[in-house]
Structure 1
Amino acid sequence: MVKRRVVKDVLRSAAEAQLPTAPAAPLRSAEALLHELQVHQIELEMQNEALRQAHVVLEESRDRYLSLFDFAPVGYLTLSRESMIVEANLMAATLLGAVRTTLGRRRFESFVAPDDLERWRRYFVSAWKGSTDEAFSLELNLLRQDNTVFPAQLQCAVKAVPGAAPVMRIAFNDISERRRLEEEQRIAAIAFESQEGMIVTDASGVIIRVNRAFTTLSGYSVDEAVGQTPALLSSGRHDQGFYQHLWQTLEAQRYWQGEIWNRRKDGSLYVAWLTISAVTTPEGRVSHYVGAFSDTTAKSEAAAEIHRLAFYDPLTLLPNRRLLQDRLGHALATAARSRLYGAILFLDLDNFKTLNDTRGHDVGDLLLVEVANRVRANLREGDTVARLGGDEFVMIVEGLSPHAEEAAVLAQQIGDKLNETIAQPFDLGSADFHCTTSIGARLMSGRETVDELLKHADLALYQAKADGRNTVRFYDPSMQAALDHRSLLECELRQALKLDQFQLHYQPQFDDADRIFGAEILLRWRHPSGALVSSGDFIPVSEQSELILPIGHWVLEAACEQLARWSRMERTRGLKLAVNVSARQFRQADFIDQVRDALERSQADPERLTLELTETMVLDNVADTIRKMQAIRQLGVHFSIDDFGTGFSSFAYLTRLMLDQIKIDRSFVLRLPDHPADAIIVSAIISMARSLGLDVLAEGVETEAQREFLLARGCHAYQGYLFGGPLPLADFEALVSAGGRALGEGRTTASLVSP
């Protein structure tokens, strides 16, 4: 009461001091009343001003709190008893990867990783059962808005709110960096306790730490080593110059490694491979040295094995490429001295990859060993047989003849003998296997280089394969000229791609009612000379140089774009397009994505697109082929086997592939119906396709007799010059617009299939 009266008196005095004049004598009743009213009015104004100032101070305090809350480097959340987010600061929204304004409509559980959800629910329930203000801490894996996970440290407590329901306050932060550092420390600790002896010294070279492997290798305990220098291990086998060079290298490069002789505690010596690394501060000053060493004494006992691995093929025990080059150098020197021609022969097994894929690599390895034994048995003792890798073998035969012609005849005889020997059946366990070889040969007189001989023999081998395999071919200078031509063609093809010189032609495909239902895309090249070059003249070169990848991608994109354009026109929206896919293109890791992207960009109907694969492509890595075909088939794209019957198809594989169509190769159609063997093969293919539920299309149909033969046996789709050859886009569309009536040679009664 006294304090309140004092405050009131002070306030009244302050109010009266603001009046113009103070009363000098006691006031009459009316004057006293007026004076009191004036004093009370001033008191009220002073109180209001004081309240306003207090409100301003309170607002400023609240703003500071909100700023601290919003911009704190820690995420803050307020949860209701139902786990709904009531309040969140900016850092919480950032850590959770969400827009702050949307958090108020979310349950905190939706941000907890599934693996930790049950644990969080137990903590949450337990916290609400406990006493108010009782804090608990835990680590949780939280889930951002984009479904990425991060580890977080949470501090939680249930808080009472005056005049409202209690809430849970959560403070949390991302501890990814802490986890990473902890993991690095664990890895470093494990690495330190490796099988290698480890020494850590200070900058002066005094040992401060060693691992268990050090005590095992040196015989010194930890207590005996710590406080000493690495001189503890000195063997006395190295002079001062050795150590001087070691330290000079370490100071200059902060690193040294090499062999060093060490002495164990028991006095025994051993050879160690030592690596020393300097640890530096951010300022570049050396703070520690770390040494790692291992006993390499046993290496001398393995020197012979190392030599064998370095110079011999581990599977066949034949010389490898490295030793072959050395022996070839010696053979050239011998030929120059003796003036006797020798020869180098490259031998490659035909279709070896097919054996590997169909019967496994173990069987393939067994065949390679047997081939090596047969080749070795058919050469003279002084001749060399080497394996370059895979199924490639090289023979060096010396001292054949002083005359090139006679030496060539002898080399030919050796090659023919090897072909005959390897053609004999191989017993590979479950069944006999028949194998043929292609051999490329090159004479040597001593005037050639090692690289020239290897290159020329390889070219001759390439020619042997091109000539039908199972033969011997000699290097001819014309081969080099052909190689130069291919090199020029490759350069021109690169330019053609850049200058947009490729064109698409369309060969129409007809059904048995003479209706056009689609076309096969065939690539043409408008050469700078003006000539239109067929794909058969440049595709082989593009496949060898990997230019087939960008070219094939361009064709795929162009085909999808054309289908999209056709879909907008009444006459063409029902047409289908078949696109040939090369083996290199199909084997790309992202080929599925390429097809998907081409379809999405063009908005083409995938059901109108057919990808044509070859038999050999399908059999090369069957598992990968099936995986890709299934993924692309799910996009809606169809598949066809091109040139069917020319490869090594297996019914087992055909039943597993996502095929829609088989194309009979033109080589079987060409002599129909008069050639009995071809007639049997074609009939079998059609019958097999029908039993598998596959469509059949015959290529190369040129006569009415061929068409009638095919139709009679159940083939209802055709492609060939009887109906029309490949056409430029404008001519093909004109053919379609004319109702399928041919513009030149061929049939004239065709009509377009209705979409």
Structure 2
Amino acid sequence: MTEAVNEKEKLIQKRKKEKLADELIIANLAGELVIAASKLASANKELTFQNNEKEKRTAELAIANKELTFQNNEKEKRAAELAIANKELTFQNNEKEKRTVELAIANKELSIAAIVFESQEGMMVTDASKIILRVNHAFTHITGYSSDDAVGQTPSLLKSGMHNKAFYATMWKKINSTGLWEGEILTRRKNGEIYPEYLRITAVKNAQGIVTNYVATRTDITASKAASNEIEKLAFYDPLTQLPNRRLFIDRLNQALALSTHSRQRGALLFLDLDQFKTLNDTLGHDIGDLLLKKVTERLSASLRESDTVARFGGDEFVVLLENLSTYSIEAAAQTRDIATKISLSLNQPYQLLDHVYHNTPSIGATLFIGHQLTAEELLKQADIAMYQSKAQGGNTLRFFDQMMQKAIIARVDLQNELRQAIKQQQFQLYYQIQVDSNSQPLGAEVLISWQHPERGRISPRHFIPLAEDIGLILPIGQWVLETVCAQLKTWQEDPLTEDLVLAVNVSAKQLHQVDFVEQVIATLQRHSTNPARLKLELTESILLNNITDIIAKMKALNKIGIRFSLDDFGTGYSSLQYLKMLPLDELKIDQSFVRNIATDSSDRAIVHTIITIASSLDMNVIAEGVETNAQRLFLQKKGCLRYQGYLFSKPVPIKELEAILKRLNTIPLPDKK
């Protein structure tokens, strides 16, 4: 039991001890806890402080970072500004270097320009108004005008008077449109000498394209021009006579062939050889022969038209090129013969060769051409052959290569000589073809001339009037017709049967173009005391092609005294309606070529109707010629043409037969007009 109690006591003591130990532990733990709590509090406080410091530092760091960011931004901004400043500085340095280089170039160019301005070429600078501002020394050397002479003047100071206004107008037009003109020009020096120069004028413009100055450079080309001319003479001209040589002549002949192709006008070649020239050389020497060739050259040149060309092929052979001849072969041949005859007459005159009087004649061969039917060499060969035919006939004559042409020319020359005799011997006779109205009552007659040849009989005017026109004999023939007609009208004025009749006379272009034509007509009327109102002058449309103003003036002057005018062959030529209404015409005449087939040809009917309409609109009479049938007359009458002429009424007859017709018509009662 005691052991139990002891054990129990021990257990209680053990539990007290364990409790105390636990309490001690708890106390220790509490103390430690307190300490720990204190420490924890201190630690928390420290931590709070540290956190506060950390937040402070964080805030400070944020501020510092923000400041740093701002500083970095500022730094970048300053760096960018610095980069821009450096770039601007670099650009300015580059520009400065560029300006330095440009200034150096400009100074160099200015130096070069100064050197150029004082070059061997004459230079002149003007303002936009062409007032001279400056010239160089070369200008003074070339022209003779000093700077004081030229400055303030205009370039007209140098005008030679050798160029017309159109030349300068064209020159300045090109300068102002393209900025440049250059070419050869004749200029006058201060001493009055005219010389050739090569001129170049440049227009200087500002940024707006406005001309501010003109710069002219000029080079005296007198020497080079003379050398060039000398070279050309040696290459293309005969040194003795200065005429074109064979080479240049062939070139001109080819040009003539080309022009003839387009114009259809014929041309001709004359091949001349001096008869007995070798004998002259052998007897009097080559010096005398050369002198003859020079004198022949002078006479040949004086005998030709301005458009003709004469060349020397060598020795005593000359070749002449005739251009712009008639489009008709016979007429062209006649023109060629006339010129050849003029040449022959000139060369047949005596020559004074130093102490010798010498007679010489030419043998001439001729050939005609049109276009490129033959080459230049072939034509020369033909003319050469014809020339030898001329020599074979004894010389001093003309022969054509074409034998048929030769015969035609001979016949024409014969007719020409006979026509001259016809005028002297008054072999002409007038025929009259009556003109009537719609009632077949006489209005008058057209006067037609006929040649009463003593051997050939009656020759129609269409065979000799064109020849008379060509050789100028139409003037005396025309005047004879006018004198005869005025005398006849004076006789008719005394007879009541014929006092109101009108006679129509054809007038040629050469008559009308005479300066005193109006005065001649008036004088003829006065000479025969003829009433001008009974005279009608018939003109053809071809007359109206040239100098229309002069023609209108003459027609008006004659119309003012009462003379009437009719336009013959209307519709076959080239009348301008504008001129037609300006002419003092009384009548249009419908050509017989339109009347002939009027019953069957619709085109002729349309043309006739148009002519009648035109005459009516211009308040003119209209008359139809060549009326041969009643069908023709009735058609014309229906369309409004009330005057007629033709074989239906009478063929052309002598004056006595016409007067017999007039008496017969006067006894026929007029038809009822109802």
TM-score range, shorter chain: 0.3 to 0.5
Larger radius of gyration, structure 1 or 2? Answer: 2
Higher helix share: 2
Higher strand share: 1
More RCO (CA 8 Å, sep 6+) = 2
